[in-house]
Structure formats: structure tokens, C-alpha cells
Structure 1
């Protein structure tokens, strides 16, 4: 595996490339052209500029998270083929710049859902959290307003103000879209882009829905092992794979995370490793430190499963706590993610050395 960290670019991120390099554990970043809208072509020159900036800081650009998929593609709406053509051109330009992994999602309306961005934990750190009771009590059109004050002046992925201003129209677009229809639209998209992925060896790593069940009645499909296997079977190409996000799949306690990893050998192109603490079954959860004992997941078992399948792709610590007075994009500060990277690397080294001693 290669330890990385998500970085949103110098214009948007409170964390610098210089700081990331000084962690010692992190050797590369997963980044994006954050100002780009879905359906917009990323030029080869823009991609090269981003890559050059990362490499000048002594790091590598190990993938993109995300090249956003437009709602027209997800709903088979007007302009779908035009947006797919733009996506293919972007992939072509990424391939020409020697970038071979793209994380993306196929979630309707909200890329992820949290009801709190700064829940205070017993140790005084703050974390993102989800309460089903809060979701059930809120007008979905007011969802952005309920969390906007806790974004610390940042623009969070999937919650861009321009997008949230269209929330009513977005819900209307997804009226009548069933899970089967969403699967069909994903199949259409994947079949269209696989030729350029084959040409440039670009691994498409779909991110799971977060949380892993329907929110506000919207369809969710990347939620469980059977659904992932359905997706891979309907477009059976090794470039059609997954981002294994422990935190997203883990929102449903019925998902056996190590078993899922082993079942997906060869198709996990990217890994997000993080921990959650459940407070009331699956109805109330909050982010935790990466440390196993701070949450509900056996992090050693998760890392062990990745090691056992021979995972060699990029891995990153995921949502961190806000600690030590840091003010940053919720989930994406420097300090706790650096601790997470160190912890994951420690687990990996221990497993690696124990295997070598056998």
C-alpha cells in the first residue's frame, strides 16, 4: 500500500503540501480540480499544473477524488451524453498526465449526509455525526442551512453553495428514479467510459453511499457486498472497481468489513480507513479517532484484510477529529489525520514483520 492524504488544492485547503510532507508517513496526495463543475472538461494543462505543484513539494499525485458525475448522467436526463463525452475527455487528459486512479460516486443529491459537523466528544475533540432522528425531523431543503455554520469558512465537497441553491430542482430530477433505474444509469455510464480506461489503465473506484441506506427517500445503491458485486458483474472489467471506505460501508453494522475486503480482492483500487462510534445501533453514529478502542471497528482486522489480499494501491486516513484547537474543513484537518496515517502505517508494519518472521 501507499499512504496518501486527501488534499483539496492550495486555493481551498487549510492544510499545505509542505505540512503533509512533514508527516513522514504520507508520500502522496489524492487531489482534484476543486473548482470544476460536473460536466466540465478538465484540460490537460490544468491537470499538469496540479501534478507539477504536488511533485514540486516532494510528493506524488496518486489519484483523483473526485471527477464528479453530473446529475444528468445519474438520472439519464437531458445532456447525459454530452456530459459523458466531457468525462471521457477528462479521463483522456488524466491518462496523458500518467494518472491512473479516479474515485467517484453515484449518490443522488447529497454526496454524503451528516446532521452535525462539530459534535463534541468526551475528550473535547469535535467530529462529524449523524442522527436519524434529526434527519427525520428536518426539511431536506433546509439540510444545508443546518450545518453551514460549522464549515469553518470552507467549501465542503458535495455541499457547494451553488449546488445547494438548486436543491429543490435536484430533488425533482430524482423523482421516480428507483434503485434499478440508478443501476441502469450507472451501467450506461461505465460502459461508455471503459474504452478510455482500458486505453490509459485508469482504475475507476466508486465510493460507497454514506450512510449506506436511503436518506430522504433517495435511492442508494453502493451500500453492500451484493450490490457491489452486481455493479461489477454488469460491467465486468477490472478497471471497474471500488473505493473501499470503511467508514461509509461501516455505517451499516451488518456489513462485515474484513469479509467484504477479502471478497473484493483485485477490485479494490483505493482504500479509506477510518473508525466510527455507534451510539444507538445504526441510527446515531459519530466519527472517532482511528484507534480501534476509540470506536466500533477492529482497525487491525481491516488493515489485515487489505494486507492479505495483496492490496498495493493508495490508502488514506479518512475523516479526522478536530483536535488541538485546529480550525479546518470538518473531517479534513491536519493533526488527527496525521495521527491516523501513523496508526495505519504502524498496523501495516506490524503485520508485515510478523508475516516475515513466520
Structure 2
């Protein structure tokens, strides 16, 4: 397995010189300043690659080449969007980039309710509170239907929290939820989020699946011809939020996607934290089933609560058996002569991380601790 480190370019407080001290070999990056749906220009891709290579790295994975919301909704100038996506793939291939991560989650790339939840031993972590998310949907967005989507314990706790919360605390919750919009994408206020949610009214699970299948049919043949591996990221969290359908949350979902366009270029980003937040997912079994179609791995861990909440734990401390997952990925590499790039996904804010303006979860010390633990697993298994 090949070590990589996610770097947000101009949006990252860490320099490549600092990242070099982690000992990682590859960089995971993207052109976050380019609006969704626009072609990534070849010259900007070349500039980013040169910047990475001058620092002594290779640009191993694009994360992410975003999918326009029109494609997810199945509306708007779809041919134009597909043409732009294919053009970006062609420009990436011309620069030697062969792995592209993307997701098909409506509106938000990921969702948390707390960006700096305190840890018992010091430091902070990312946390998803089902109670606070229920508050956000029911009380702040006015979605009474959300009462059917959450555990009753979460709804009761959320009602109590809302009654005692201040406007500043509710603003902090909105900020945390909006942190799932990456790069230069504008954040929404409550009314703005209501408006964009309304654009998805009536879209069913089957509709979103059909729109993903159309996307795959449009782009996978091009990716395959170019030698690019596309790898879809699972839903985060892997369950319904905001009344939006989720179609990459379970092993069955992944199997459906792999068969929708049965081409090796149509692959998976195996995110153990995202999939691990679903109590019904067996992560070693998923790695065993789809190791041959896993083109990229996000390795992190979570601790789950009965009401649907979860906390991003230490890499060796959560509910996911990362040793077993990595063992399956190493077996897939041996059987299929591949070298799967992986990164220590997210990390606690520890020591000098505290007070820094990192992208949420993308700390230095916390991720380095996670990388060290993953290195230990891989060394022992190898």
C-alpha cells in the first residue's frame, strides 16, 4: 500500500515542506478553487503537479473532481456537464494523473455537528450528534418529517438541547454542518439551505441511483480509455439526512454501483470511517468483496452510539477492525498486482494542532499519529 497525504493547496495552512517531514510519498490534492461544472484547465493541472513534484512528491490521487448538482438531480444542461467532466479527465490524464476520487452525495460532501468535540485525554475530534442533527432539521430547518428519521432518544435529547441553546450555539451548529462544503464553495445560511434542498424535492432513492448510473455510463468509458481509475466515496454519514436519498451506504449499494457499469475503471474509495458509521456494515467483508475494485483507501475509525451518533476515534481505538480491513487490502494487492494508495483519514487535533486553522479533520499531529499507527499495522501484516 502506498502512503499519501491530503493537501488542499492554497486552502491548506500546511506547506509541502512541512508535509515532507511526515515521510509520506504521495499527495492527494485537487483544484478546489475551480467552480463545480467547469473544466479543469490543463495548465492549472500542470502547475499543481509541478508544485507537488518540486517538493519531492508525486500527485497520486485527485480528491475530488466534483460532480455538479445538476447531474445528481438529473436536471439542467447535462450534456454540457458531462462534456466538461470528460474534458477534465482528459487534462488530468495528459498530466499523468490516474486515480480520481469523487462522491455522489447531494449538496454536502460530509456532515458533522461538532468540529472540536473534547477528548477525555485532551485534544479535540470531529463528532456527529444525532440529537443536534435532529435539532438542525426539525427546529432550524422546520422539517417536521425528520422526526421519523431519527432515534427517539436523539429527538428527545435534541428537543432539550434546543430549548436551552443560545443563538451563538445554533450558529456554531450551522457552521459545523456547512463545513461539509469543500474549497471555495459558498456556505449557505438557513434560508439558502432550504432553497437548495427544495431543488431536490421529489427525488427518490431510485431516481438518484438512475442519475448515478447515467453519470457512470457517460464518464467511465472515457476514464477507461484514458487509463484513469474512478473511485466513488461512500456517503458520510451512511444514512439519510436532510431528507435526501443516500445510495453509497452499504455493501449492497457498492455492489449495485460496480455492476451498473461493470468496468475496472468504475471503482471504490474504501472509507472505513464513513462506512464504519453504519452499524450494519462489516468492513472486512466489504474489503474482501471489493478489494479488486478498491483504487483508493481512507483509513480511520469511529465509535458509534445506539442513537445514531458517532465520534471519530483514534485509528486503533474505534469499532472498525482496521487490522482485518488492511489485511484484506494487502491480500487484494497481492492477488491483483496493484498498489493501493491510502491516507490516514482525518485526525484528532492534538498538541500544536490546537488553535490552528486546518480544514476540519485535517490536522498535522493527529494525522501523523494515525499514519504511524497504520504503518505499524502494515509492517506487522507484511
Alignment TM-score > 0.5, same fold: yes
Residue among 208, 215, 239 paired with 1:213: 239
User: Alignment partner of 1:331: what SS?
Assistant: coil
Residue among 172, 183, 193 paired with 1:146: 172
- Given the superposition, is the C-alpha separation of residues 125 and 202 from structure 1 closer, same or farther in structure 2, using an over 3 Å criterion? same
Aligned to 1:6: 6
Q: How does 1:47-58 map to 2 (within 5 A)?
A: 47-58=45-56
Kept in 2, the 8 Å contact 1:3–1:27? The answer is yes
Residue among 319, 343, 346 paired with 2:346: 319
Bigger Cα displacement from structure 2, 265-274 vs 194-203: 194-203
Aligned to 2:369: 339
Which residues of structure 2 form unaligned runs of 5+?
Answer: 143-168
Residue among 332, 335, 338 paired with 1:309: 332
Structure 2 distance, partners of 1:347, 1:271, is 15
The alpha-carbon deviation at position 277 of structure 1 amounts to 1.7
Structure 2 distance, partners of 1:220, 1:82, is 25
Aligned to 1:262: 288
- Given the superposition, is the C-alpha separation of residues 159 and 215 from structure 1 closer, same or farther in structure 2, using an over 3 Å criterion? farther
Kept in 2, the 8 Å contact 1:253–1:282? The answer is no
State yes or no: 1:75 paired with 2:73: yes
Aligned to 2:309: 284
Kept in 2, the 8 Å contact 1:156–1:329? The answer is no
The alpha-carbon deviation at position 254 of structure 1 amounts to 1.1
Aligned to 1:252: 278
Aligned to 1:164: 188
Q: Deviations over 1:301-352 (max 9, x none)?
A: 1211211221512100001000003112220011111111121112111111
Structure 1 distance, partners of 2:132, 2:180, is 20
Q: How does 1:110-259 map to 2 (within 5 A)?
A: 110-139=108-137, 145-147=171-173, 157-158=181-182, 162-164=186-188, 166-259=192-285
Structure 1 distance, partners of 2:42, 2:279, is 42
Structure 1 distance, partners of 2:89, 2:183, is 24
Structure 1 distance, partners of 2:267, 2:80, is 24
Q: Deviations over 1:175-234 (max 9, x none)?
A: 111111001001111111122212211111000001111002110000011111111111
- Given the superposition, is the C-alpha separation of residues 128 and 258 from structure 1 closer, same or farther in structure 2, using an over 3 Å criterion? same
The alpha-carbon deviation at position 133 of structure 1 amounts to 1.2
The alpha-carbon deviation at position 158 of structure 1 amounts to 3.6
RMSD: 2.1
- Given the superposition, is the C-alpha separation of residues 182 and 350 from structure 1 closer, same or farther in structure 2, using an over 3 Å criterion? same
Structure 1 distance, partners of 2:187, 2:174, is 13
Which residues of structure 1 form unaligned runs of 5+?
Answer: 353-358
Structure 2 distance, partners of 1:351, 1:52, is 35
Structure 2 distance, partners of 1:45, 1:57, is 19
- Given the superposition, is the C-alpha separation of residues 183 and 156 from structure 1 closer, same or farther in structure 2, using an over 3 Å criterion? closer
- Given the superposition, is the C-alpha separation of residues 337 and 167 from structure 1 closer, same or farther in structure 2, using an over 3 Å criterion? same
- Given the superposition, is the C-alpha separation of residues 149 and 236 from structure 1 closer, same or farther in structure 2, using an over 3 Å criterion? closer
User: Alignment partner of 2:44: what SS?
Assistant: helix
Q: Structure 2 length as normaliser, TM-score?
A: 0.86
Kept in 2, the 8 Å contact 1:73–1:189? The answer is yes
Structure 2 distance, partners of 1:163, 1:169, is 13
Bigger Cα displacement from structure 2, 60-69 vs 338-347: 338-347
Structure 1 distance, partners of 2:185, 2:53, is 31
The alpha-carbon deviation at position 138 of structure 1 amounts to 1.4
- Given the superposition, is the C-alpha separation of residues 245 and 162 from structure 1 closer, same or farther in structure 2, using an over 3 Å criterion? same
Aligned to 1:297: 320
Q: Which structure's residues are more often helix, by fraction?
A: 2
- Given the superposition, is the C-alpha separation of residues 196 and 163 from structure 1 closer, same or farther in structure 2, using an over 3 Å criterion? farther
